[in-house]
Amino acid sequence: MAGTDHRRSRHHDESPSKPNKKQKGSRNPEKSLLINLHSCSKRKDLSAALALYDAAITSSDIRLNQQHFQSLLYLCSAFISDPSLQTLAIDRGFQIFDRMVSSGISPNESSVTAVARLAAAKGDGDYAFKLVKDIVVVGGVSVPRLRTYAPALLCFCESLEAEKGYEVEEHMDASGIMLEEAEISALLKVSAATGRENKVYRYLHKLRECIGCVSEETSKTIEEWFYGVKASEISDKTIGCDIELLRAAVSKNGGGWHGLGWVGEGKWIVKKGNVSPAGKCLSCGEHLACVDTNEVETENFVNSLVALAMERKAKMNSCEPMADFSEFQEWLEKHGDYEAILDGANIGLYQQNFADGGFSLPQLEAVVKELYNKSGNKKQPLVLLHKKRVNALLGNPNHRNLVEEWIDNNVLYATPPGSNDDWYWLYAAAKLKCLLVTNDEMRDHIFELLSNSFFEKWKERHQVRFTFVKGCLKLEMPPPFSVVIQESEKGSWHIPIKSQDNEESSRSWMCITRQSL
């Protein structure tokens, strides 16, 4: 018992001289204030947060830092949509921001975003925009984001100050900030409301470039424009008559749009309906396109692949000489009449035992035969396979005859040692604008050469996936049409609308045509 009392006494004696971290933290007034402010944010308690702030600025023990101000400004901006607290949130928010600046604390992006929202809430888009421009001028670690610009842009659009909205967009573009649907829709709406038909046309194409399907809210904005008097007054008597010019533009752009301006005359007819699995609009009968990448994008990609392959060769330290990628380019130029390119390794190794180095030539042969049979011109596909793998197959008496036949008939090309097969099959598919059979997700660093929007569009149009179920081949061909905004050479528009289930069979499309079409 005495021992127990002694231990208790010793513990009691030592505890004041060695406080634990929790006790030590509780004595830091700045940290305690920050914890309490975060608690107010979680509870959405603006009044309590302001009371903490008022007490802090009269205390000599607390020195407010950037985190304190940021937390307070964020909380104020969170109440701008609450009618009962909006005025308080705005007034106190600006008071807090003024104190932050006067204290010599530079606002970061989060703080500026919060104040920009407060400014926009009271209709001061000019001040919201000035805040963002000041960040850009100062530079440093704080870089504006879409959310930083959005308050000013949306404020200008809501107040029908179109030119100021366009100025914000230009500033965003110079800062490398991409618009999203809410901002594009707002710019489209203000352009329609102020009768700027060329801007409406531009923002319809912005929607086409940046998103797949539009929201219900955006579809209503589009519908209102086409039903309006201004839209029906737009007429074209030059471009619409030159059907060859329109077709050439559509082809150059990869299908699905020409971008030359409004086509046709008369009132617009807006219907909502569905599109058949084959891509036929059930409202007007027009067939939608499977949109491909445009010529410039594709050519840039092809050139990037060539440069990467050449750079790889220059860095090779292997004693075994590596063939120039240009040899494959010349070979493809001579023999390149193909409708499909096959990633031979990906197909041959599908569902095989990698530990034992399994490679299924029968699987590869099945894909070659299936694509030959599907070809309307009875053309053989091209298989790309590493030379080491080809040599192994040639060394197998069971496979030698078929592999030699493929080589003799230009069905198989062996990529050289030290090279990356990916460069070859991707280059061939892009250069020849044909199908690419592979299950490769194409996430390696070489595929980062392209912007996401470009590469996803290219894969949707060209990639063929495959499966073998109980030895039976099934090819998943590209969709017959693209679920994106489309503009036809006739001047009609087809606009897909987002759906909850995302089922294409039940998706609603806006079909917009002119009476004169």
What does the buried/exposed string (b/e) look like for 431-443 if buried means 16 or more CB atoms within 10 Å of the residue's CB?
bbbbbbbbebebe
Residues 6+ apart with CB under 8 A from 304: 449, 450
What's 133's domain CATH number? 1.25.40.10
Least confident of 195-204, 308-317, 356-365, 468-477: 308-317
Q: Same structural domain for residues 225 and 311?
A: no
Say what the pLDDT of residue 182 is. 97
**For the chain, percent of residues with pLDDT exceeding 90:** 69
Check whether residue 336 and residue 206 sit in a common domain: no
485 inside domain = no
Shared domain for 43 and 189, answered yes or no, is yes
pLDDT at residue 447, as a whole number: 62
Could you tell me the pTM of the whole model? 0.80
CATH of the domain at 352: 3.40.50.11980
In a domain, 152, yes or no: yes
Statement: residue 22 has pLDDT above 90: no
Question: In this predicted structure, which of 171-180, 187-196, 220-229, 501-510 has the lowest mean pLDDT?
Answer: 501-510
One-letter amino acid at 151 equals P
Task: Give yes or no for residue 126 having a pLDDT over 90.
Answer: yes
Query: Side chain identity at 298, as an amino acid letter?
Result: T
Rounded to 5 degrees, φ, ψ at 496 are -75, 145
**294-347 per-position pLDDT tens digit:** 888 888 888 887 887 777 666 655 444 456 788 999 999 999 899 999 999 999
The alpha carbons of the chain give a radius of gyration, in whole angstroms, of: 32
- Same domain for 338 and 472, yes or no, is yes
Question: What does the pLDDT read at residue 10?
Answer: 42
pLDDT at position 362 is 94
Q: Which residues contact 113 (CB under 8 A, 6 or more apart)?
A: 77, 145, 147, 148, 151
Kindly report which listed range (18-27, 238-247, 269-278, 431-440) carries the lowest average pLDDT score: 18-27
Query: Averaged over 92-116, what is the pLDDT?
Result: 95
Domain boundary among 211, 233, 255: 233
Cβ atoms of residues 104 and 116 within 8 Å: no
310 and 181 belong to one structural domain? no
On whether both 299 and 387 belong to a single domain, the answer is yes
- Residue 344: inside a domain: yes
Structural domain contains residue 339:
yes
* Residue 411 within any structural domain of the chain: yes
User: To the nearest whole percent, how much of the chain has pLDDT over 70?
Assistant: 88
CB-side neighbour CA atoms (13 Å) of 423: 25
Q: Are 269 and 493 in contact (CB under 8 A)?
A: no
Residues 308 and 418 reside in one and the same domain: yes
Q: What are phi and psi of 350, to 5 degrees?
A: -60, 120
Sign of CA dihedral 36, 39, 40, 41: positive
Shared domain for 210 and 330, answered yes or no, is: no
Separation in Å, CA 34 to CA 38, 40, 66, 215:
6, 10, 10, 39
Task: Pick 260 or 324 by higher pLDDT.
Answer: 260
Query: In the structure, how many helices (H) and strands (E) does the chain have?
Result: 23, 10
In a domain, 42, yes or no: yes
Same domain, 227 and 300: no
Q: Which residue in this structure is represented by tokens 């752009």?
A: 253
> Pick from 441, 461, 476: which residue ends a domain?
476
Cα-based distances in Å from 13 to 7, 9, 19: 10, 6, 12
pLDDT single digits (tens) 153-193: 999 999 999 999 999 999 999 999 999 999 999 999 999 99
Is residue 498 in a domain?
no
**Domain with 131 in it:** 29-233
Residue 207 sits in the same domain as residue 305: no
What CA–CA distance (Å, rounded) separates 216 from 372?
Answer: 44
pLDDT by residue (tens digit) across 368-425? 999 999 998 889 999 999 999 999 999 999 999 999 999 999 999 999 887 888 889 9
Element spanning 366, H or E: helix 361-374
186 and 81 together in one domain: yes
How many structural domains does the chain have? 2
Asked whether residue 510 is domain-assigned, the answer is no
CA distance 410 to 431: 17
Is the domain of 306 the same as that of 216? no
Q: What is the mean pLDDT of the chain?
A: 88
